Amino acid sequence: MTVHRSRGVVAFSETDASGRFHYTSALKWAENAEHELYRAAGLPIVGFPRRAVSATFERPFVDGDEYVVELAVKRLGNSSISYTWRILDGDAVAVTGAHTVVHLDGSGQPAPVPQALKDVLEKLTAEVP
């Protein structure tokens, strides 16, 4: 599977009262990996609101832990993109998730995903279980 990888370190502000990362942090990390991919390709990162998001949490992170987000394209549609992702703690999977975005035009209506972005994302399209 071809994936886009993004590395990070858990910040204190991403933890909750238990000292473990807050679940919303994983969603932000996945979204940041997506935006990093767009920026690396020289593409705009606006006009892609979320339609669906899901995540399963297997292992906790605490302040200072390092993580890696692996982002792949599950489905590349005409106006939508479905991503699948894993957040790793070393070699162990800490979080698995998925999200779908819809490309909108200037009036807020669904519009075709720009060809330049499709060209980049086709390289990350993977067979996902």
Burial group, residue 104, by CB count within 10 angstroms (0-12, 13-18, 19+): middle
First-residue to last-residue Cα distance in the chain: 11
Distance (Å, whole) CA 25 – CA 27 = 5
CATH class of 4-124: alpha beta
Quick: pLDDT tens for 7-40: 999 999 999 999 999 999 999 999 999 999 888 8
For 27-80, what is each residue's pLDDT tens digit? 999 999 999 988 887 877 777 899 999 999 999 999 999 999 999 999 999 999
- Position 101 confidence tier, pLDDT thresholds 50, 70, 90: very high
Cα(98)–Cα(52) distance, integer angstroms: 8
Report whether 83 contacts 70 (CB < 8 A). Answer: no
